[in-house]
Amino acid sequence: MKNNVFNKLVSFLQKLDQQGMSYTLGHHREEAVMVTVAVPGERWEVEFLSDGSVEVEKFISNGEIVGEELLSELFPKSNEQDK
């Protein structure tokens, strides 16, 4: 990971810490570290890539709460991605 992107990552994590925001770190792509941030009604995926770029994806909830029956849709979708 290039020094510049590492500095961006550390700076971003420090800002989250200063704001008291909770986050998780993940490694889902060979060339990236992902920071997942959850705020009410939203989930943000921020990936810091080894080429120095940063990719951001924001997911917004429609506010609808459903029951556990929806879980039956989760695993078939995961299997589709593996193909």
Assign residue 17 the CATH number of its domain. 3.30.160
Into how many domains does the chain fold?
A: 1
Q: HSE-up of 59 (CA within 13 Å, CB side)?
A: 8
What's the confidence (pLDDT) of residue 76? Answer: 82
Alpha-carbon distance of 7 to 9, in angstroms, equals 5
- CA nearest to 57, candidates 26, 27, 35: 35
pLDDT tens readout for residues 3-56: 799 999 999 999 999 999 999 999 999 999 999 999 999 999 999 999 999 999
SS3 9: helix
Q: Is the pLDDT of residue 75 over 90?
A: no
User: For residue 2, is pLDDT > 70?
Assistant: no
Question: CA–CA separation, 60 vs 16, rounded Å?
Answer: 19
**pTM to 2 decimal places:** 0.80
Supply the range of the domain harboring residue 74. Answer: 3-82
